[in-house]
């Protein structure tokens, strides 16, 4: 083998050792020692010092990688470390944003809302009601006829059942928060359409950030899907705690459904 070939081989080995050291540093290994190399002499072997195992250039490079080399490795798209851990880092849980807004400020932004077509048939905008520092919050889908007339959420037959449910757990209606995904009554009490939800939902999320309840009970399929941004149905997730930015969310049937099917 020519001297040039030997030189190229040694440089290749040094580069490979260099990259391996950078990889170990990515894994958090700061101090490590290479195992003693072995020199073959006939049928016997004997340890070789690390200084002889690698040429001087390789020892210098592996001992102290340059800043440029560290940055290149840290930002490399094909880094094994990055490929393994990047997905989990992308899925870090969201937290509830800090908010100093009052409900009155949020409602002032809602105003005499005409952002979607629901404004055409409503009588009143129905805002969230109750204790604004409540530990427990209930969310439905939209006002019905009674709610639209009185400008209060859950005051019809379904609301009366909800009040009894709240009292059954040892609380009063005034101690909790009650609201809806949408604040205007849809025609014929139909479910709100996606574009209607898109206009109204942000105000509810601002109220949640302001009140910061510990638990939210979402009542019915529409409320659950829109708060949690899920395609799962209420019968699948009912009774299983979910998460909304650090708040526990319990999906359950809407009181109106319970009235239709008491079983």
Q: Which residue has the higher pLDDT, 181 or 52?
A: 181
- pLDDT band at residue 241, thresholds of 50, 70 and 90? very high
d(CA 199, CA 178): 19
What was the pLDDT predicted at 129? 98
Query: Lowest-pLDDT range, 21-25, 34-38, 103-107, 251-255?
Result: 34-38
pLDDT tens digits, residue range 176-219?
A: 999 999 999 999 999 999 999 999 999 999 999 999 999 999 99
d(CA 263, CA 257): 10
Q: Note the pTM of the prediction, 2 decimals.
A: 0.66
Query: What's the DSSP call for residue 95?
Result: -
Tell me the mean pLDDT in the region 234-258.
96
- pLDDT band at residue 173, thresholds of 50, 70 and 90? very high
Q: Please, what are the domains in the chain?
A: 3-90 (no CATH), 103-260 (3.40.470.10)
What was the pLDDT predicted at 91? 52
Contacts (Cβ under 8 Å, ≥6 apart) of 225: 231, 232
d(CA 5, CA 190): 80
Which phi and psi angles does 249 have, rounded to 5°?
A: -125, 125
Token couple for 14: 């040094």
d(CA 34, CA 232): 53
Contact 188, 109 (CB under 8 A): no
């Amino acid at each position: 083998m020519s001297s040039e070939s030997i030189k190229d081989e040694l440089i290749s080995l040094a580069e490979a050792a260099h990259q391996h050291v950078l990889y170990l540093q990515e894994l958090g290994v700061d101090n490590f020692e290479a195992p003693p190399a072995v020199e073959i002499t006939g049928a016997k072997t004997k340890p070789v010092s690390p200084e002889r195992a690698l040429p001087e250039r390789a020892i210098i490079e592996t001992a102290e990688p340059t800043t440029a080399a560290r940055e290149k490795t840290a930002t490399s798209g094909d880094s094994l470390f990055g490929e393994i851990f990047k997905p989990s880092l992308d899925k870090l849980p969201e937290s509830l944003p800090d908010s100093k807004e009052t409900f009155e400020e949020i409602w002032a932004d809602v105003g005499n809302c005409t952002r979607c077509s629901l404004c055409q048939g409503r009588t009143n905008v129905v805002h969230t009601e109750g204790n604004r520092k409540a530990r427990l919050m209930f969310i439905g889908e939209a006002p019905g006829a009674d709610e639209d007339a009185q400008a209060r959420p859950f005051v019809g037959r379904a609301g009366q059942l909800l009040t009894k449910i709240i009292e059954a757990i040892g609380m009063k209606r005034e101690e909790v928060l009650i609201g809806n995904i949408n604040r205007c009554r849809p025609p014929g009490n139909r479910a709100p359409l996606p574009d209607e939800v898109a206009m109204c939902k942000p105000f509810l999320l601002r109220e949640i950030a302001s009140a910061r309840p510990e638990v939210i009970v979402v009542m019915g399929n529409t409320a659950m899907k829109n708060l949690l941004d899920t395609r799962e149905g209420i019968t699948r997730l009912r009774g299983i705690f979910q998460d909304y930015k650090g708040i526990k969310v319990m999906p359950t049937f809407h009181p109106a459904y319970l009235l239709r099917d008491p079983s």
